[in-house]
Amino acid sequence: MLGITQSAALVGVEAHPVQIEVNTGEVGELKFILVGLPDAAVKESQDRVFSAMANSGFRTPATRTTINLAPGGLRKEGPAYDLPIALAILASMKKCEEVELDHFLIAGELSLSGKTRPVKGTLAMAMLAKKLGKKGLIVPVESADEAALVEGVAIFPVSSLDHAVRFLNAECEILPAKSRESCYFKNPPEAQRIDFSEVKGQHAVRRAVEIAVSGGHNVLIIGSPGSGKSMIAKRIPTIMPRPSMDEFLEILSIQSAAGTTLSASNRYFQRPFRAPHHTISDVGLLGGGTIPGPGEISLAHNGVLFLDELPEFKRSALEVLRQPLEDGNVTISRSAGQINLPCSVMMVCAMNPCPCGYTGDQSRECRCSVPQIQRYRSKISGPLLDRIDIHIEAPSLRIDELRSTKTGDSSANMRTRCETARALQITRFAENSDTATRCNARMSHSEIRTHCTINAEQGDLLQQAMEQLALSARAYDRILKVARTIADLAGEAQIGTPHLLEAIQYRSLDRNLFY
């Protein structure tokens, strides 16, 4: 007899429909045959499925059984097919209502006892179920929270194989998961909260960071060890505007495909903050692998990618970031296929001015020779530096600053100003329905010409700065974008000369530090 269920396969961050066909009662040797380009985890499903069926009180097939995962040319990976395979086997044995099975998309891993375990990618599967017009999505209880965020499709959480069978046979009722009860709407615990008020001094750096967050600009912080670079960078998420629901779904779809949402520590309504170690590989940073998947730059989508000790990263790893930072997406091609991943990130970098870290420090003497400093700085290429909008120095803190009990501006106040500036940008770009631009850093050339107009006197001033600092054409656009953000923070409709001068000073390190 034939039993059919519907499931899905992840390709990048998107789900593609998979039909699972099971034929039992075939004449011949007792054998379990699985076809349809499965990986090792899918091939091992036989042992998990048969044990789960036996321990759930169901008889396993006593005849030759063939399972086909269609389409055959699409590679299937992971244990998410355990539950739909088990239900298709039971449907072929008339133990499960076959008519109901066609109305649902099903995914879930099974333990040997028959209990369900969470699987990755359920958010993308929920989007697929909605697109296909299915009645709902049946997934393990632990995976229902993220899938429930998709409006317009019912999510039915099941705790075991037996639970799923009884639901499909109308022997029990399962209430659909409610999106507003999802754990993703929780705020982080108080113990995990950090605040900019804890940062001593560094007023210029705080100002630069506020501008960067307000416009979504990339920023590079240069300073001696202990000047607070990493401390400031780790507090940037606390002043970023809360994501919209569309942005949050984009964030979760990538993290769900990578399996990171299975960790309870990530289940909060917040933007991602990724801080990979400098030993990371090109593939780990950009994405890829035998089965192409998201890397750190995509996992930081709509959030912050923090690269501490920037010159210590491999040159090749840094260079592969150039095109994704410019375009906001990355295309990965492998023999197993090609995927496109979004990677609209705010990149925050921190580095020392030299190998020992004390060039220009007022209290300690630098031990590095000129060739050593040049080699160290040359690890950051000009094209990559061009894509960083704001460069700022973090001077060493004085003892009196460290001893001071006076606190700086809080993250709440800084976030309010950043959100106000972002709201102006969203309103401005919403006037053009053809653009998907959300912040100043993502403006196209035509949008720069429209929204970053300057008068003749300001044009001469910018030209003089370009010539003296030997800046590139890309840096010209970056200065205008930053100036537009500074004007937005000031609530000004037009870019003023003070806004332009402040934006220019954030490029002065191009010459002074790197050339």
Give residue 513's pLDDT.
47
In a domain, 410, yes or no: no
Clarify whether residues 165 and 219 are in a common domain: no
Contact 469, 512 (CB under 8 A): no
Both 67 and 201 in one domain: the answer is: no
Closest CA to 134 of 142, 126, 146, 122: 126
CB proximity list for 144: less than 8 A, separation 6 or greater: 122, 155, 156, 157, 177
Q: Are 29 and 16 in a shared domain?
A: yes
With CA atoms as reference, report the closest residue to 310 among 215, 368, 223: 223
Q: φ and ψ at 355, to 5 degrees?
A: -55, -40
Is 230 found in the same domain as 126?
Answer: no
For residues 192 and 139, membership in a common domain is answered with no
Give the end of a domain, one of 181, 213, 237: 181
Q: Tell me which residue range forms the domain holding 52.
A: 2-181
Are residues 172 and 192 located together in one domain of the fold?
no
User: What is the torsional sign of CA 153, 157, 162, 167?
Assistant: negative
Which of the listed residues 398, 424, 457 is the one where a domain comes to its end?
Answer: 398
Q: Pairing relation of β-strands 329-334 and 116-117?
A: unpaired
pLDDT of residue 336: 62
Same domain, 6 and 82: yes
> Does 434 reside within a domain?
no
Q: 295-312 burial by CB neighbour count: b if 16+ within 10 A, else e?
A: bbbbbbbbbbbbbbebbe
pTM to 2 decimals? 0.87
Are 54 and 172 members of one domain? yes
Residue 436 lies in a domain: no
What is the model's pLDDT at position 434?
Answer: 64
Nearest to 32 by CA among 18, 52, 49: 49
Residue 43 lies in a domain: yes
Domain check: are 113 and 217 in the same one? Answer: no
The number of folded domains in the chain is 3
Within-domain flag for 38: yes
DSSP annotation of 136 reads E
Beta bridge partners of 110: 116
472 shares its domain with 390: no
Whether residues 19 and 85 share a domain: the answer is yes
What is the pLDDT, as a whole number, of residue 514? 46
Question: Which residues of the chain carry a pLDDT beneath 70?
Answer: 27-28, 181, 186-192, 262-267, 335-337, 433-435, 508-515
pLDDT tens-digit profile of 416-452? 999 999 999 999 988 775 667 889 999 988 999 999 9
Among residues 175, 348, 357, 197, the alpha carbon closest in space to that of 276 is found at: 348
Type and span of the H or E element at 4: strand 2-11
Q: Is residue 225 part of a domain?
A: yes
CATH code for the domain of 380: 3.40.50.300
**Where residue 98 sits, what CATH number does that domain have?**
3.30.230.10
148-162 per-position pLDDT tens digit:
989 899 999 999 999
**Does residue 109 sit in the same domain as residue 166?**
yes
Query: Would you say residue 421 lies in a domain?
Result: no
**CB-CB neighbours of 362 under 10 Å:** 9
